[in-house]
Amino acid sequence: MGRDLETALLRSFVTAVRVGSISRAATALGHTQPALSQQLRKLENTVGRPLLHRSPSGVLPTRAGEELLPYAERILSLSEQALSEAGRALTGHCGIGLLEDLAAYQLPQAFADLAGLHPDVTLEVLSLSTAEMRQAYDARRVQLVLDAVGDLPGPPRWTVRRPLVWAIGQGVDVTADPLPVVLFSNPCFWRTSLLESLERADRRWRVAFESNSLAGVLAALRAGLGVAALMPANLEPAMAGHDPAALPPLPDLELGLTRHPRSEGDLLVDAVETALRRTI
């Protein structure tokens, strides 16, 4: 008989990783600590590898745990989505405006999952400049916009903060003076944030390359032209890792979602907004 991953076990694992503690996870899930520990051991037996490093200070995922985590989160998201939406058939079109860096993230898979549940749905994702997004929003070509709060075409319904991290180009010396930087073209929130972080740290810098696209920035990093600020999900393995003291910390990025007021009550737009919020 094949092995199955039980959603209850995956939920225990994901919660423990998120809160960093088995006892806090047990409280959050309404279990006793021994019961939760037993569930985690059962999941590890199913997978066949240890998933958590346990210590008096809490828990951290092992390499196997890090590999399982995105699958566990997606399985739980799909389970919730199927339970809430499989009983109703959705149809129609929904336009979604996304920051390009988010369009390259886990959101395309979330949209594919939604479309798989509702084959009569058409989803359109647009990554546009701030001005073009405003035009698409005003023309109701997009009903939802998920972007940096300062670039939204309307007031946010909800916001979330996500970190920015340094991406190091191939062979780049992060102690170089001046530091070569790869920037997104203006206007861009984290272009300004990167440069302000360097200025506060009294680091000299020079613009080695700039592009208005994520693909262009990633290509420049692969070519070893400099360092850049990226969302963690877009950081390639070869671009990670440096002396933490060599580069200053970067601020968080505040993302928000705007929904066109004339889309209120639209079940499809409701479902897409729910998928966005779960994924982000």
Is residue 216's pLDDT more than 80?
A: yes
Q: Give the domains, in start order, of the chain with CATH numbers.
A: 7-84 (1.10.10.10), 90-161+255-279 (3.40.190.10), 165-251 (3.40.190.10)
**How wide is the angle at C-alpha 145 spanned by C-alphas 139 and 148, nearest 5°?**
130
Residue 106 confidence (pLDDT) = 67
CA distances from 155 to 5, 42, 134, 149 (A): 41, 46, 12, 8
pLDDT, tens digit, for every residue of 88-147?
668 889 999 998 888 766 677 778 878 777 788 889 999 888 889 999 999 999 999 999
What pLDDT is recorded for position 1?
Answer: 45
Residues 6+ apart with CB under 8 A from 227: 166, 167, 168, 169, 172, 174, 179, 180, 181, 182, 221, 247
Distance between CA atoms of residues 198 and 124, nearest Å: 38
Using a cut of 0.75, tell me whether the model's pTM lies above it. Answer: no
- What long-range pairs does 54-57 form, CB within 8 A, spacing at least 24? 54/22
